């Protein structure tokens, strides 16, 4: 599955399993490395604004649907507040930016995995 970002991801009715797959790819397949040169739409680097938008969107969908624990919501909101208050899109990415995004994704992944492992409410 190709990772959808921005409006494409928001316009789809993604299942919890699909969101989990996207979150895992964002967390583990995208590179933490910050290249020396500024890149635009090249490679799966977490320093790209697209990565930050996808992290924010996937966490937001999970929060809206009630998939996140209070702790994960706290980390997700801390990430969103930090990105907005530091005007992330208008400045170079730092290792701290990526670290906060990774922490937010860790919460999303943990909560979605726990949800997948939980027995369904109608199970005998």
Kindly give, in sequence order, each residue whose CB lies less than 8 Å from that of residue 54, ignoring residues fewer than 6 positions away: 3, 5, 6, 9, 22, 26
Q: What's the confidence (pLDDT) of residue 13? A: 83
Confidence of residue 75 (pLDDT cuts 50, 70, 90): very high
Average pLDDT over residues 51-62: 95
Using CA atoms, how far apart are residues 63 and 58, in angstroms rounded to an integer?
A: 9
Please count the other Cβ atoms lying within 10 Å of the Cβ belonging to residue 22: 25
Using CA atoms, how far apart are residues 48 and 34, in angstroms rounded to an integer?
A: 9
Measured CA to CA in angstroms, residue 121 lies from 12, 109, 113, 118 at distances of: 26, 21, 16, 9
Q: Regarding predicted confidence, which is higher, 39 or 104?
A: 104
Average pLDDT over residues 71-78: 96
Range scoring the smallest mean pLDDT among 2-11, 19-28, 43-52, 56-65: 2-11
Q: What's the confidence (pLDDT) of residue 21? A: 96
Which three-class secondary structure state does DSSP give residue 124?
coil
Q: What's the confidence (pLDDT) of residue 37? A: 87
């Amino acid at each position: 599955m190709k990772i959808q970002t921005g409006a494409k991801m928001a316009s789809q009715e993604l299942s919890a399993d699909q969101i989990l797959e996207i979150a895992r790819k964002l967390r583990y397949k995208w590179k933490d490395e910050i290249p020396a040169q500024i890149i635009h739409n090249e490679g799966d680097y977490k320093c790209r604004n697209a990565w930050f938008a996808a992290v924010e969107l996937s966490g937001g969908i999970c929060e809206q649907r009630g998939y996140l624990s209070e702790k994960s919501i706290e980390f997700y909101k801390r990430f969103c507040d930090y990105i907005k208050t530091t005007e992330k899109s208008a400045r170079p990415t730092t290792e701290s930016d990526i670290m906060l995004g990774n922490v937010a994704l860790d919460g999303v992944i943990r909560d979605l995995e726990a949800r997948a492992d939980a027995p369904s409410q109608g199970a005998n």
